[in-house]
Structure 1
Amino acid sequence: MSLPRSDVDLFEAARPRLEAIAYRVLGSAAEAEDAVQETFIRWQAADVERIEVPEAWLTKVLTNLCLNQLASARARRETYVGQWLPEPLLAGDPMLGPADTAQQRESVSYAVLILLERLSPNERAVYVLREAFDYPHREIADILDITEAASQQLLHRARKHLADGRARTEIDEAAARRIVGEFLAAATSGRTDSLVRMLTDDAVTVGDGGGKIPARAKPFEGAVAVAKFLRGLFTPGKAKRDLAGGSPEIHAALANGGPAVVAVVEGRVVGVMCLEVTEHGIAACRNQVNPDKLGRATRQWAATDHGEPLLRAF
């Protein structure tokens, strides 16, 4: 069924918001794109003239599609090879959504996306809609077919779960580049003491290779263990060059609003290491190297000016 141009335009105007909601709920840009496309298919099949508030209708359809997709995604993650980590998004990607308030920026941080995995699907949806998009509980209740009181209770539980995580420090682009520069200098110095000083005592590092690229699925824990692992990770070697398909250029960037180490080979992003920075130091180094989760980052990388690399590795 072909939609009038005005109805297509209405949907396209809503697409960035829908993608940003779906990404936060699912933690995957690819799955978010699928959910938004399925929403468009439902929009095509609907009697649009009878829809009084298109934005509310689209949000309701999308959210419920995401909840269904989240249930199946979690089942797939039970058989996922290695550690599952969210798909990182680089600065400037419209799927990151609004960033006007601290709550909005926090809701899409890599650390919070990981913590959201602790929540039930409904808790996750309520948290995203309320904290990131400021939907009133009345509208959230209608979207999820629950009461306003239930929506408020779900948000309370979600905030309680997320409060168990460590408060991160907000970082601008200049600070991110400085932190990554210092981090790389320490990691490639051949010594661990300077790197240990940058880490919190209980720092962790973990990687997601999806069974396609070797990655550290079981976390290293503690500053000394993490520093030793990172020193080895950034030590040059032919095997690493072969695995990456060449000698990567290492850049400083922002991913999900936080400092990140981005490894690029001939324009292709082959790794994004997100650094979780707190007032006490770097608390986590999460390395996404699964090629299935780096395609959007590669497209965003090609569309932006990223400057000279800080390091040519391996």
Structure 2
Amino acid sequence: METFSSIECFVRSAEVGSFAEAARRLSLTPAAVGKNVAGLEARLGVRLFQRSTRRLTLTEAGQRFLDEVAGSFQTIQHALANLASAQGQPAGTLKVSMGTVFGRLYIVPLLAEFLQRYPAIVPDWHFDNRQVDLIGQGFDAAIGGGFELPQGVVARKLTPAHRVLVAAPGFLARHPLIGTPADLQEMDGILIRSPQTGRVRAWPLTHRDQSQSPLNLRVRMTMSDSEAACAAAEQGLGVALVSLPFAVPYLQAGSLVRVLPDWYVDDGSISLYYAEHKLMPGKTRAFVEFIIEQFARQGLAQRFSAV
């Protein structure tokens, strides 16, 4: 009978392609991980990895073995985690990725209530505007928009991802004749450059009646972050196209107002992502249900809708 630790070392090494990285995630030494895998290979009588100085690669036998054991291994691991929960309550380190500003504005304020409800959970929250490898990097969940949905990951929609045009009241006082999308052609624009591709996307504007129009703003400057674009627009530097959740505090304070309020850009959804398991760890289930509950209670989907 193979030990659980040997199979765990094999599965983690296969996931990340490195004994050293697997060792870091398992809080072991690379030598211990390599020894466990070598012992497993010796007992099975097959080579599971092709080893090189750069990366581990599964052999045909190794891939077949991984396909057979990975699902059962995860089920056992999650069962152990749930059984080990403090007094039957969800427990353990909760590793979550979320956008920097979105997380700070809308998720971090929920932390006190979440920990009061689940005191045995230890948040390990990562703030990054880039998509993460949910399974490969060991995240329990992620919050964001525009994620590719790999096999084994599910998405629960939290809110529409709408972008809106905003400007400072003083700027609009100097440019009072913005009544149609065509009027934007002569306006200084503060546009968003994708941090992933480096390109400024050509967004179409959508009207409340679902008709569309091209968005043609004269580029005055570009930013890679909607919150920074809001701060620039607040100074009266132009019309900014920004994600609505980032604009909400400025709109509520009156330092920015919407331009062409019947028009917006539809950028999909902001969703909660997590790995699909027959037996979801209690800490992950608690977080998913809590976030969905809070978004419904606070009406955030309605606040983030431009329609």
Give the TM-score category using the shorter length. under 0.3
- Larger-gyration structure (1/2): 2
TM-score with structure 1 setting the length: 0.23
Larger relative helix fraction: 1
Bigger proportion of residues as strand: 2
